[in-house]
Amino acid sequence: MLGLVFQVGPDKVAVDVRRVREVVPRVQLTAVHGAPAWIAGVFVYRGRVVPVVDLHALAGVGACPPHLSSRIILFPYPLDIPEALVGLLATQVAEIREIRPGVAQPIPGPPGRPSLGPALADGQGILRLLDPDWLLAQVAAGSGGLIEAGFEP
């Protein structure tokens, strides 16, 4: 598979490029009152309000640094409503590479936070393989309805 590779704290993470709707530059976000710390805020993208999850904060490694390589990776959410999007904020989003299938092994995340995925050695180091469906389900469950609220008509 082709994977979009990015950095979350000390971890390199990859996601199947077929799952990504678009990658956009980091923009100024509007804070959401009462949201968990890992919800970085919302922004308007092509006329739609898009909630953004800070993967660094979710992984327990602080806030995503404001680097030039920081990007918002947009995914359809929920998957059966293509016009609804959710953004994942990460840094060093700059590489697409071939990831060969192998044996992925789970690596636990910090207690009380979702793992960013199982680990896989790909010849260039260790990558975590992010499953957007699983991660977004965990995020939605922990958002107290804030993620879903952005998608009501």
Report yes or no: 101 and 129 within 8 Å, Cβ to Cβ.
Answer: no
**Pair of tokens at residue 47:** 């006329």
Average pLDDT over residues 21-35: 92
pLDDT at 105: 60
153 band by pLDDT with thresholds 50, 70 and 90: very low
pLDDT at 14: 92
Domains of the chain listed by start with CATH number: 2-149 (2.40.50.180)
Measured from the Cβ of residue 70, the count of other Cβ atoms closer than 10 Å reads 19
Give yes or no for residue 25 having a pLDDT over 90. yes
Q: For 46-99, write each residue's pLDDT tens digit.
A: 988 899 999 999 888 899 998 888 999 999 876 566 678 899 999 999 889 888
